[in-house]
Amino acid sequence: MSMAASLTGSFSSVVSLVPSFIKAGISAGRVLEVLELPAEKTELTEHEKQVIEKNKDKKLTLVCKDVTCAYNDEAVVYRKSSFTAQSGKITALIGASGKGKTSTLRILLGLIKPADGSVVIKDEDGEEINLSSATRKLFSYVPQNNTVFSGTIAENLRLVKQDATDEELEKVLKDACAWEFVSKLPHTINTKITERGQCFSDGQNQRISIARALLADTPILLLDEATSALDLKTEEEVIANIFKNNHNKMIILTSHKPSVFNLSDSIYSVSENGIELLDRKKIHDE
């Protein structure tokens, strides 16, 4: 009986390990799948470097042409869609949640590849480069989720430019309308904040995130619902400050807020039917 009980106990122990082995096998399989993915293109070609270098202070045009956005054959977000954005202007992508606004920004950042179509940046002479993971350095991206980390405000900002001076930090905080509350803190930019900025309001955290994006000083700024917690006056002031200090900045934003209609130069509706340029006059009349 004792031996039988012992064998039964041992067998039960082995059986209890089966789910763990299955989970481990699945995890290992996923790791192997990731390892087998093609490496991202991280370096610009000489031609791309030359085009970017000679256009540092010039206007650029971003062109998405006949793009099909899909995560796989069954998860198609939209098909054969096009839109254009230009330096010195604001392009708004509007639409319901889950219809492709953020997915479109992921294509621009080279995080996902379009299943069809092309995405390029053109200069004033008509020279163009294809967008890829290597061209991601042309963009600053403020996502819709909170990206404030524990540490000081200065440390949060210097994530994108480690050698930034205190004066530079103060400037971008002013541009993002964040200096008005940061300046009142006991240690200003050296004030420590908690993970996800729990000591600040959503609007204050958004302004710190925008300030960090401005510090990166890239030609293209992507705002993914990044002003959703700001009141209209502050939202307008932030946008005005950005263009006041950099006339050639290209801004592409996603939003649900009606206020973007007045702020934007071009407005595109994003849905399962594709990306459609909206008539500003009709929107205003409605």
Which CATH number does the domain housing residue 62 bear? 3.40.50.300
120 with 261, same domain: the answer is: yes
Q: Is residue 286 part of a domain?
A: no
- What confidence tier does 286 reach under pLDDT thresholds 50, 70, 90? low
Residues in CB range of 41: below 8 A, 6 or more apart: 110, 132, 133, 134
User: Cα(first)–Cα(last) distance of the chain, in Å?
Assistant: 84
- How high is the pLDDT of residue 10? 54
pLDDT digits (tens, 9 = 90+) for 213-226: 999 999 999 999 99
**Residue range 23-40: mean pLDDT, rounded:** 51
- How high is the pLDDT of residue 46? 86
How many domains are there within the chain? 2
Q: Is residue 122 part of a domain?
A: yes
List C-alpha distances in Å: 237 to 171, 223, 267: 14, 15, 20
Range of the domain at 20: 1-37
Q: Is residue 76 part of a domain?
A: yes
CA–centroid distance for 70 within its chain: 18
Q: How far apart are CA 244 and CA 241, in angstroms?
A: 5
pLDDT digits (tens, 9 = 90+) for 143-179: 987 788 889 999 999 999 999 999 999 999 999 999 9
103 with 139, same domain: the answer is: yes
The H or E element that residue 255 is part of is: strand 250-255
Residue 39 has pLDDT above 80, yes or no: no
- What confidence tier does 228 reach under pLDDT thresholds 50, 70, 90? confident
Q: Which residue has the higher pLDDT, 7 or 186?
A: 186
29 with 130, same domain: the answer is: no
Q: Is residue 105 part of a domain?
A: yes
78 with 215, same domain: the answer is: yes
Q: Is residue 162 part of a domain?
A: yes
pTM of the shown model: 0.82
- How high is the pLDDT of residue 21? 46
253 near 260, Cβ under 8 Å?
yes
| Single-letter amino acid code for the residue at 93 | L
CA atoms within 13 A on the CB side of 48: 17
Residue 49 has pLDDT above 80, yes or no: yes
102 with 80, same domain: the answer is: yes
Q: How far apart are CA 253 and CA 223, in angstroms?
A: 5
- How high is the pLDDT of residue 34? 43
Residues in CB range of 228: below 8 A, 6 or more apart: 144, 202, 206, 255, 256, 257
Q: Which residue has the higher pLDDT, 276 or 144?
A: 276
1 with 80, same domain: the answer is: no
Q: Is residue 284 part of a domain?
A: no
272 near 77, Cβ under 8 Å?
yes
- How high is the pLDDT of residue 81? 96
Q: Is residue 183 part of a domain?
A: yes
Mean of per-residue pLDDT scores for the chain: 84
245 with 272, same domain: the answer is: yes
